[in-house]
Amino acid sequence: MNKTILITGSTDGIGRLTAIKLANKGYTVYVHGRSQEKIRTTINEIKEATGNQNIKGFIADYSDLNSVEKMAEEINEKVAKLDVLINNAGVFNTSKIKNQDGLDIRMVVNYLAQYLLTARLLPLLNKGTDPRVINLSSAAQAPVSIDVLLGKETVSNGETYAQSKLALTMWTFYMAKKEPNISMIAVNPGSLQNTKMVQKAYGTSWSSPDKGATILSELSNIEDAIKISGKYFDNDRGNFGNAHPDSYDDAKIKKLIETTDELIKKLIG
């Protein structure tokens, strides 16, 4: 089967390596990045490396939800169906803490943008074969502060990052119940892999980003993905396991989703 796959944040690191692995299987792969030049370069490099000509791209600044909304509209216009959506885009350190809406950029890029894009692409995913959404969580997960989510409180880089990743995981489990025909999977691709984001944040690494790309490729290809919907794969341990306890707290999830929906409605409509 010729799967159609969209990978966000795929001009570098784990996302780019995953795109190459999936392109090697002959799939139609859409990459995403912030600049036209980098998208063009990435597409050409993947085509040359794999011989697969079905590589295309979309542009959006993930710190700007209006940009994400425009990309979603373009995808809905140009793509007939979507079998796999890999929400890989992420940020840890940033020179500018808040975006134009006064929200912490880590919360926007790592959680809100993924939430918005997925919501807009649900019709395409429902047309897919054995469709799945793979959300990149992290071993770093911390209880979500609604004030941090709304930009009313600022905490450390590490704390904000961990909160954004737990928010993403909580939302994944919520969507698994809401969308019974789409597999929703959260995955920690592996801690401190040698990517630009990790080097910028920590200046060191433990493993190759190929480790993360391999598990993302495997989860993209596993059959009957609906059987693993609502689960968390911990690639540090190499198996499915438990995420942060808040991921299973219905009251906290309800509060998070309600706040998120209100925020996006306020900003996007």
Q: Of 130, 166, 92, nearest to 5 (Cα)?
A: 130
Do 247 and 135 form a contact (C-beta atoms < 8 A)?
no
The topology (CATH level 3) of 4-267 is Rossmann fold (3.40.50)
**Which of these is catalytic: 111, 161, 174, 232?**
161
Half-sphere exposure of 184 (CA within 13 A, CB side): 21
Indicate if 161 belongs to the active site. Answer: yes
Task: Locate the domains of the chain by residue range.
Answer: 4-267
Query: Tens digit of pLDDT for each residue in 125-178?
Result: 999 999 999 999 999 999 999 999 999 999 999 999 999 999 999 999 999 999
Do 161 and 110 form a contact (C-beta atoms < 8 A)?
yes
pTM over 0.85: yes
Q: pLDDT tens per residue, the chain (269 residues)?
A: 789 999 999 998 999 999 999 999 999 999 999 999 999 999 999 999 999 999 999 999 999 999 999 999 999 999 999 999 999 999 988 878 999 999 999 999 999 999 999 999 999 999 999 999 999 999 999 999 999 999 999 999 999 999 999 999 999 999 999 999 999 999 999 754 444 444 444 443 445 667 889 999 999 999 999 999 999 999 888 899 999 999 999 999 999 999 999 999 999 97
Q: How far apart are CA 116 and CA 136, in angstroms?
A: 15
